[in-house]
């Protein structure tokens, strides 16, 4: 394996937001491969706590309508923003695919919940890196309406929604990453 390719891929991963997505469709086989890569995330005691619901085509319209309504229902008279409601719908409809990220709690509770959440986050990182490798844009969002989305999806007991991953081809220049020096975040303990 070319380690420099891996290093570059990790450094190039960015949040790419739906407003820059194009209308170019993504082949279903690519989405399956992205999710196959997500499936290889590390997890303690092999609980594999990630689940995915993939919305495409007309299903995006149903999801967009629901999310806009959930926002309206949650907003107060002073917090409501028509712009935010419209953006909620538009982000979904601008995406080729929306993947709902779901946590499946281990019914035997072999590991603490935080480890299951960390495993789901690792699966999303695999998904995101794969998205980058395929030249696609992606963005993981955790809207405040996640509890309502969990109910709307009619998830079985032990499952809950952990966010939405917007996915699409995009058009925009590569944005350089910004991170502080890793040396400032390391303490070496050698003796």
Which CATH number does the domain housing residue 27 bear? 3.40.109.10
Radius of gyration of the chain (CA): 18
- 90-142 pLDDT tens trace: 999 999 999 999 999 988 888 999 999 999 999 999 999 999 999 999 999 99
> Is 114 inside any structural domain?
no
pTM to 2 decimal places: 0.95
- Residue ranges of alpha helices (H) inside the chain are 3-12, 28-38, 58-74, 82-94, 113-133, 146-152
Q: Using the predicted structure, report yes or no on whether residue 48 has a pLDDT greater than 90.
A: yes
For 45, the domain range is: 16-109+122-172
Question: Can you tell me the distance from the alpha carbon of 139 to that of 85, in angstroms, rounded to the nearest whole number?
Answer: 18
For 131-141, how does the pLDDT look when each residue is reduced to its tens digit (9 = 90+)? 999 999 999 99
Domain count, the chain: 1
Residue 14 confidence (pLDDT) above 90: yes
Place of tokens 């946590």: 103
Of 158, 156, 137, 161, the closest CA to residue 70 belongs to: 161
Say if 76 falls within a structural domain. Answer: yes
Average pLDDT, whole number, for the chain?
96
Within a domain: 42? yes
Which tokens belong to 179? 């991170």
38 contacts 126 by C-beta, under 8 angstroms: yes
Give domain status of residue 138, yes or no.
yes
Q: Tokens 């007991």 identify what position? A: 157
Assess if residue 117 is contained within a domain.
no
* 72 inside domain: yes
């Amino acid at each position: 394996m070319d380690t420099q390719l891996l290093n570059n891929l990790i450094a190039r991963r960015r949040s790419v937001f739906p407003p820059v997505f194009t209308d170019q469709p993504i082949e279903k086989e690519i989405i399956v491969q992205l999710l196959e890569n997500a499936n290889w995330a590390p997890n303690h005691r092999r609980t594999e706590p990630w689940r995915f619901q993939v919305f495409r085509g007309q299903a995006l319209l149903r999801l967009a309508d629901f999310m806009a309504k959930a926002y309206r229902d949650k907003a107060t008279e002073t917090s409501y923003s028509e712009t935010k409601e419209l953006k909620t719908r538009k982000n979904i409809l601008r995406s080729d695919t929306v993947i709902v990220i779901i946590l499946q709690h281990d019914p035997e509770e072999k590991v603490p919940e935080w480890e299951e959440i960390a495993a789901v986050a690792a699966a999303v990182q695999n998904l995101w890196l794969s998205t980058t490798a395929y030249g696609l844009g992606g963005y993981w969002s955790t809207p405040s309406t996640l509890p309502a989305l969990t109910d709307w999806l009619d998830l079985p007991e032990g499952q809950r929604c952990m966010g939405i991953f917007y996915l699409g081809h995009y058009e925009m220049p590569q944005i350089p990453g910004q991170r502080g020096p890793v040396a400032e975040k390391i303490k070496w303990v050698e003796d």
